[in-house]
Homo-oligomer: A and B are copies of this chain.
Amino acid sequence: MKLAQLSESSGASTATIKYYLREALLRPGDRVHTTQMHYDEHHLPRLRLIRALTDVGGLSIEMVRDVLTARETPDLTPGELVSACHVAPACCGTASEHGADHAAAMSEIVALAHRQGWRVSYDTPAVVTAAGALDALRSLGQAGTREHIDAYAQAAETVTAADLRTTRATTSQAIKALVVTSVLGDVLLSALRRLAQIHHLHDEAPARITALSNSAPGQ
């Protein structure tokens, strides 16, 4: 198909597609004429994946590149697997150590993981990120008790088990699928949390938010 058709089928503008081509996220089409390229059946699904990861998943172009690389490596090494699983806009960006006691939070996250039966080590990027979030919550006086963080770990276990049940095929396929599921699953989970919050706050404060479903934002 031509560039214009690829644009129409994917919903991405031709300028966006050209940008992905320049960034080598999409491989070039076959030249069929001095000024015309032909894009085949492999371009469209790949373009849809890139759009889902950027538009829905909120990933940067560099993060998309990491996800695509992980999916295409025939046999992932341990290091590549760990990297691929850590691609997420909200996860493992800047390891933050602003809070009151980052070292204590690190120990608590490792202890939490052990209570769940997860084998993790101190140098796993997600441990640093989780500790940063816990430390920040505490330094702001927002809970972070053992009961509180255990509930988070339980929720993480619930969604991971569900992800693995539905993506299980071969191990290699499961790992590659999980990279994408993780990104979009974070968005789904974040949004569902907001729905649960709205519901519970409605129960808590009926007088305050009775008109919740009817009112326009900002009124």
Q: Which residues of A are interface residues toward B (Cβ below 8 A)?
A: 11, 48-49, 51-52, 55-58, 75-83, 85-86, 88-94, 96, 98-99, 112-113, 116-121, 124-127, 129-130, 132-134, 136-137, 139-140, 142-145, 147-149, 151-167, 171-172, 174-175, 177-178, 180-182, 184-202, 204-205, 208-213, 215-219
* Chain B neighbourhood of A92, CB < 8 A: 191, 194
- B178 near A201 with CB under 8 A, answer yes
Q: Given A78-B209, A94-B55 in contact, is the A143-B120 Cβ separation under 8 Å?
A: no
Question: How many copies of this chain?
Answer: 2
In the assembled complex, the Cα of A56 lies from the Cα of B6 at a distance in Å of: 38
* Chain B neighbourhood of A86, CB < 8 A: 194
Interface SS of chain A: helix, strand, loop or mixed? helix
* Chain B neighbourhood of A198, CB < 8 A: 81-82, 85, 118, 120, 124, 126
In the assembled complex, the Cα of A193 lies from the Cα of B86 at a distance in Å of: 10
In the assembled complex, the Cα of A121 lies from the Cα of B210 at a distance in Å of: 13
In the assembled complex, the Cα of A165 lies from the Cα of B150 at a distance in Å of: 13
Given A78-B210, A133-B185, A159-B193, 8 other A-B residues pairs in contact with their CB atoms under 8 A: A11-B98, A52-B99, A76-B208, A80-B218, A83-B217, A85-B194, A156-B189, A171-B205
